[in-house]
Structure 1
Amino acid sequence: MSAGTVAVVVTEEIGVPSWDLYELSIPCTVFGKPQPDLADPWYSLRLCGTGAGEQGGAAAGAGLTLRTPYGLDGLDGADTVVVPSVPDACVEEGRPLPRELTDALRRAHAAGARVVSLCTGAFALAEAGLLDGRRATAHWMHTARLAERYPKVEVDPSVLYVDDGDVLTSAGLTAGLDLCLHLVRRDLGAHVANQLARRMVVPAHRPGGQAQFIEMSVPATDDRGIAPVLGWAREHLDQPLTVARLARRAGMSPRTFYRRLQAATGMTPLQWLLDQRVGRARVLLESTDLPVERIGELSGLGTANNLRHHFLKHLGVSPGQYRRAFPRAAPAPPPRT
């Protein structure tokens, strides 16, 4: 069974500024390169241009001219529609978006397509009315303008991406990659998404609720700093982990460790540990058939009731509901010899 058709919108003047090209490249890389050993057939990709011209028109910027194989009619029948960005003038100056684009987005969504924006692509979804009454995000530099221009949208400037079922939005740049890998995880399971992330040499999973911007994202630290300790903690989430224990391992006082971790991650130690444990439980639910009680133990969340409590609080679903949302496509283990 195919993973579905992904139609990527290429707006005129994409590439101005040049980082828009990066966001355009993300869905092309994730969905456009076949991975037959992971899933066969893979996604089918369509590049759909908004400009006038043969077969969908051209988008120019950063010294490049791109002619797309499809026009906006290529959105019809797609399972997923991705808008990587819109021209800078539409964001900064309020220049109207092409009416044919917003009409095509509404039509695709009404026909059942999943609609996705990366960075300023959220402005196109908002203009089409697809974000009204929904929580959404964009690059933190543009969220204030998004909220001001579209007051019916609940704009969250702090998160990497928002999954609202059939409409998903992400922050800019690498957060778009996080969202695209999240879609692969939803469609094909954790094993496929993790293997794809490994090939792309990126983290397998960053939760959408993770902060977009932290004042000091990478702490200046040597081997006795907190980075090795956090790595060790991730490998021992099933054990009792306290600030005092982690601080001793880092060779710091608990107060110094607390301050360093909060500066590096934007979270308190308790919040960071809980985030890691919920993340571990999510991976185990997605990729194994282990009972919920065992997953609670392995993730360090303790009992099944405690696991359910944190899933309902942080994700709004029970572990059982979460597990049913993710197909598991891991290959069978090799036979014993």
Structure 2
Amino acid sequence: MTRTLPDMDTVALAVTDGMMHFELSVAYEVFGSAPPGTAATWYDVAVCGSDAMRVGRFRLDPDDGLDRLRHADTVIVPAWADVDEEPPDDLIDAVRAAHEAGARVASLCTGAFVLAAAGLLDGKRATTHWAHTAELASRFPRVEVDADVLYVDNGSVLTSAGKAAALDLCLHLVRSDHGSSVANAVARRLVVPPHRAGGQAQFVAAPVPARSDHPLTALLAWVIERLDQPLTVEDLAREARMSSRHLGRHFKSATGTTPLQWLLTQRIQRAQELLENTDDSVDTVARATGMGTATTLRRHFNRTVGVPPDTYRRTFRSQTGSGPGPGSGTGPGADPGRDRSLVRG
């Protein structure tokens, strides 16, 4: 049985020992009370679990047992605290049974591990917090894990990335059920944007070597000081005194990526710092990061981060940052026309 609007009015929050309280609180805040002035029939929310439990640092007495999930229109699975530990069988079975009964099932953050264990993500695109996407993909190879998005809507199964993305997904569900004006009213009450541009790539840290004694440590420091210059793989190999092929093997071992991709990531990260902390124009940031032109920076930045540089600056602009910051000079080696620069092509 598949439930359809306007019948999606009962929400069950599936909880057990080991859940995290932030995502649970987010879901309860969004679905627990209607925004002022709305004429829509609001959700009937129940916290469902097997017994009294610890959620974060709090003791929680559920409203109903997990068997109520089968009668809910929407089931929300909050974040699972320890992804190395298997979720309890009764929770997995209850979530699976709810979906088979026609419920729309959504996970918040690492709650995706519960949905994956229940088989609900097999053959589907899904996400979780970027720090755990590799683990999700490794343990559940039938899941198509997307590490870059804030949430994924597969219709009856939805997943979100970490923390604040849980709020993005909950607002998306309200928008799907009641329309944009009601979702916007909820967002205004919570003092958050009703929709965020881009994806998780805005928040992912750049890969770095795991050990300070790695053969590339000195080279990477040398590169970071010259990001304004149009460096090539051959330039890096020459500085490291090794062949390009040998350099590539060391990069793969140290960072999990290629020299070209690592350098591009460092350029993007430097651009992010300058956009956050200086008033430099996009053209100036492009030259300071070895991108050459604003057009090149915008193309790589949008593809890598998921939003244009101007949007990123508006979102992350430091309240105290002004004036030129470190690395904002153009540098003597900047040459936007050099075809072999690692940001080209």
| Equivalent residue number for residue 323 of structure 1 | none
Q: Tell me the percent identity.
A: 50
| Equivalent residue number for residue 150 of structure 1 | 140
Following TM superposition, by how much is the alpha carbon of 1:186 offset from its aligned partner in structure 2, in angstroms? Answer: 0.7
Distance (Å, rounded) in 1 between the aligned partners of 2:175 and 2:161: 18
| Equivalent residue number for residue 63 of structure 1 | 57
Task: Please list the CA deviations of residues 113-144 of structure 1 after superposition, one character each: whole Å capped at 9, or x if unmatched.
Answer: 10000111111111111101001011111111
TM-align CA RMSD: 3.3
- For residues 148 and 204 of structure 1, do their structure 2 counterparts lie closer, same or farther at Cα, with a shift above 3 Å needed? same
Instruction: Letter of the 2:111 partner, please give it.
Output: G
Alignment check: 8 A CA contact 2:14 2:48 kept: yes
Distance (Å, rounded) in 2 between the aligned partners of 1:43 and 1:127: 27
Q: Determine if the alignment matches structure 1 residue 84 to structure 2 residue 74.
A: no
Instruction: Letter of the 1:187 partner, please give it.
Output: D
Alignment check: 8 A CA contact 1:86 1:123 kept: yes
Secondary structure at the aligned position of 1:145 is classed as: helix
Secondary structure at the aligned position of 1:206 is classed as: coil
Gaps of 5+ in 1: 15-19, 51-56, 227-245, 277-337
| Equivalent residue number for residue 126 of structure 1 | 116
Task: Please list the CA deviations of residues 10-46 of structure 1 after superposition, one character each: whole Å capped at 9, or x if unmatched.
Answer: 12132xxxxx211111110100123352243211111
Instruction: Letter of the 2:68 partner, please give it.
Output: G
- For residues 59 and 256 of structure 1, do their structure 2 counterparts lie closer, same or farther at Cα, with a shift above 3 Å needed? farther
| Equivalent residue number for residue 159 of structure 2 | 169
| Equivalent residue number for residue 311 of structure 1 | none
- For residues 30 and 154 of structure 1, do their structure 2 counterparts lie closer, same or farther at Cα, with a shift above 3 Å needed? same
> Normalization by structure 1: what TM-score?
0.62
Larger radius of gyration: 2
Following TM superposition, by how much is the alpha carbon of 1:160 offset from its aligned partner in structure 2, in angstroms? Answer: 0.9
Instruction: Letter of the 1:4 partner, please give it.
Output: D
Gaps of 5+ in 2: 1-5, 206-268, 312-345
| Equivalent residue number for residue 14 of structure 2 | 9
Matches within 5 A, 1:201-280: 201-206=191-196, 211=201, 213-215=203-205, 219-221=275-277, 224-225=279-280, 255=292, 257=294, 266-267=301-302, 272=307
Task: Please list the CA deviations of residues 211-253 of structure 1 after superposition, one character each: whole Å capped at 9, or x if unmatched.
Answer: 362555673345x456xxxxxxxxxxxxxxxxxxx859x9x99
Alignment check: 8 A CA contact 1:39 1:192 kept: no
- For residues 61 and 69 of structure 1, do their structure 2 counterparts lie closer, same or farther at Cα, with a shift above 3 Å needed? closer
Distance (Å, rounded) in 2 between the aligned partners of 1:123 and 1:103: 13
Alignment check: 8 A CA contact 1:12 1:87 kept: no
Distance (Å, rounded) in 1 between the aligned partners of 2:196 and 2:73: 24
Secondary structure at the aligned position of 2:276 is classed as: coil
Distance (Å, rounded) in 1 between the aligned partners of 2:46 and 2:112: 20
Secondary structure at the aligned position of 2:152 is classed as: strand
Task: Please list the CA deviations of residues 40-89 of structure 1 after superposition, one character each: whole Å capped at 9, or x if unmatched.
Answer: 32111110113xxxxxx12215432111111101212111001012241x
> Normalization by structure 2: what TM-score?
0.61
- For residues 225 and 268 of structure 1, do their structure 2 counterparts lie closer, same or farther at Cα, with a shift above 3 Å needed? farther
Query: Out of 66, 69, 90, which is 1:72 matched to?
Result: 66
Task: Please list the CA deviations of residues 247-288 of structure 1 after superposition, one character each: whole Å capped at 9, or x if unmatched.
Answer: 59x9x999464577679xx4169x746x98xxxxxxxxxxxx
Following TM superposition, by how much is the alpha carbon of 1:181 offset from its aligned partner in structure 2, in angstroms? Answer: 0.5
Alignment check: 8 A CA contact 1:3 1:41 kept: no
Instruction: Letter of the 1:137 partner, please give it.
Output: T
